[in-house]
Amino acid sequence: MSFAKLGLSQPIVDAISQLGYPKPTSIQNQAIPVILKGEDLIAAAQTGTGKTASFVLPILEKLSQGETQRKKRIRALILVPTRELAVQVEQKVQEYGQHLPLTSLAMYGGVDEKAQKQALIEGVDILVATPGRLLDLYGKRALHFDEVEILVLDEADRMLDMGFIDDINKVLDRLPTDIQNLLFSATLSNKVRDLAKSAVHDPYEISIAANQASKKNIEQWLITVDKDQKSSLLSHMIKTHDWDQALIFIETKHGAAKLAAQLEKRGIVAEAFHSGRSQAVRSQLLADFKAGKIQYMIATGVGARGIDIEGLSRVINYDLPFPADEYVHRIGRTGRADASGEAISFVSKDNFKNLCMIESRLGHLIERREIEGFEPRKPIPVSVLNYVPKSKRQNQEES
Ligand code: AMP
């Protein structure tokens, strides 16, 4: 199936071919016709599957046929969990809509609101926003919702994990009732389904199968190692394999700063990317990392979403993430679309339960390797697939 056959018109098809996308991805093939028809949709799809284009392209198509909006009015609202994702999605809107007269804006907190207010006065067709800043400016009457035609809840599971449920409900209450609602989520957990009950009506459902979570073009493996050896192991791997770039995930801000300092002592320059750094610094780090000026970036969970780095070859889980879905999101940073990538996790004995949960979520074991000189003194037991933590067993039985 080509993009034109999906019902997208020439200006959009031209933009896509300029970007070099060979053909629609699975989620695009399924979602675009449904959205063009005007149906509500709930879709389970991870980042890296091309999900952003699967809603942005049909939204552009639909809005390009309508009339321009009045001041302070928006026609499509895309709600996202993080600032980084807001910037990234809005950038896609611009890229895909480059031959259309439509306007867009990324709106998020942590920066001065003046420029965002001004852009709203001038008119915005597609607004990509985080819930907090959106409600803030709505409360100040900087924008009105009466002309909204389409709502997208992007990465809904992540928004719920971040505690945005009340904000999302407030937004839903204030939107016109007859709009088209689209919900995208990496996972369709019970929490997401509860939200879907109020957010989407009689929706069409698409699921890019959960075991495609382990994308084939990502080589995943893990290194068993003692906890106190992880930092030396990382330096060893960087030096012996001459890695061009790596996004390294770690649990805490403090841990990120400490690891950067340890690497520096061994002559490796790395930057720490976490919520303790200002938005301006984070944006600059991201730009430098994307441009290849920074080789190694050490990020806490906040960095996991919204980082879209063309051709990022390697993600390292210095700490294993929790919950298991977070692993899927993290490895989704690499091998995006058609590129190939590598996801390496450092696993010590105390990570064992977490590892079992991740492997159960993936539906397969992750290949284990040992590195000479770093063999663990505390062995990591054999994995248990279909591992369910005690606290969850009861919930699963109920549902
Ligand atoms: P997403 O899942 O929306 O985060 O997209 C992942 C990456 O895939 C982005 O860098 C897109 O530019 C890229 N992409 C989206 N659709 C396609 C496609 N049909 N062919 C190739 N790359 C794509």
Helix axes 324-331, 352-362, angle to 10 degrees: 70
CA distance linking residue 370 with residue 372, whole number of Å: 6
Q: How far is the CA of 258 from the centre of ligand 1 (A)?
A: 34
> How do beta strands 341-347 and 218-224 pair?
parallel
Which protein residue's CA is at the shortest distance from atom 8 of ligand 1? 337
Among the listed residues 136, 80, 135, 127, the one whose alpha carbon sits nearest the alpha carbon of residue 106: 127
CB 361 within 8 A of CB 213: yes
Please list the residues that pair with 106 across neighbouring strands: 128
Residue 360: CA count within 13 A, CB half-sphere: 15
| Whether the predicted pLDDT of 363 surpasses 80 | no
pLDDT at 393: 47
The pocket around ligand 1, CB under 6 angstroms, is made up of 21-22, 24-25, 28, 47-53, 308, 336-338
Mutate to test the pocket of ligand 1, among 21, 28, 334 (most ligand atoms within 8 A of CB): 21
Q: How far is the CA of 36 from the centre of ligand 1 (A)?
A: 19
Which ligand 1 atom minimizes the distance to the CA of 25? 19
> How do beta strands 150-153 and 126-129 pair?
unpaired
Please list the residues that pair with 299 across neighbouring strands: 249, 273
Select the more confidently predicted residue: 94 or 392.
94
Please list the residues that pair with 341 across neighbouring strands: 218
Q: How far is the CA of 308 from the centre of ligand 1 (A)?
A: 9
Residue-wise pLDDT for 190-223, tens only, equals: 889 899 988 999 899 988 754 444 455 778 899 9
Q: Is the peptide bond before 381 cis (omega within 30 degrees of 0)?
A: no
Residue-wise pLDDT for 82-137, tens only, equals: 998 999 999 999 999 999 999 999 999 989 999 999 999 988 999 999 999 999 99
**Helix, strand, coil percent values for the chain (each to nearest 5):** 45, 15, 40
Which protein residue's CA is at the shortest distance from atom 19 of ligand 1? 24
CB 337 within 8 A of CB 25: yes
Among the listed residues 168, 98, 157, the one whose alpha carbon sits nearest the alpha carbon of residue 134: 168
> What's the whole-model pTM score?
0.64
CA distance linking residue 370 with residue 376, whole number of Å: 8
Q: How far is the CA of 73 from the centre of ligand 1 (A)?
A: 29
Q: How far is CA 383 from CA 218, 362, 369, in A?
A: 21, 13, 14
Position 109: which residue type? Answer: G
Residue 302 tokens read as 């906040």
Mutate to test the pocket of ligand 1, among 17, 19, 28, 52 (most ligand atoms within 8 A of CB): 52
CA distance linking residue 176 with residue 133, whole number of Å: 20
Q: How far is the CA of 54 from the centre of ligand 1 (A)?
A: 9
Which ligand 1 atom minimizes the distance to the CA of 337? 8
pLDDT at 121: 94
Domains within the chain, CATH numbers bracketed = 4-212 (3.40.50.300), 218-386 (3.40.50.300)
Q: How far is the CA of 49 from the centre of ligand 1 (A)?
A: 6
Q: What single-letter DSSP state applies at residue 271?
A: E
Position 308: which residue type? Answer: D
pLDDT at 70: 85
- Residue range 303-325: mean pLDDT, rounded: 77
CB 75 within 8 A of CB 179: no
Please list the residues that pair with 345 across neighbouring strands: 222, 317
Which ligand 1 atom minimizes the distance to the CA of 92? 12
pLDDT at 13: 97
Residue-wise pLDDT for 18-53, tens only, equals: 988 888 988 999 999 999 999 999 998 877 788 999
pLDDT at 11: 96
Residue 356 parent element (H or E): helix 352-362
Q: How far is the CA of 329 from the centre of ligand 1 (A)?
A: 15
pLDDT at 398: 37
Residue-wise pLDDT for 248-301, tens only, equals: 999 999 999 999 999 999 999 999 998 888 888 988 998 898 888 999 999 987
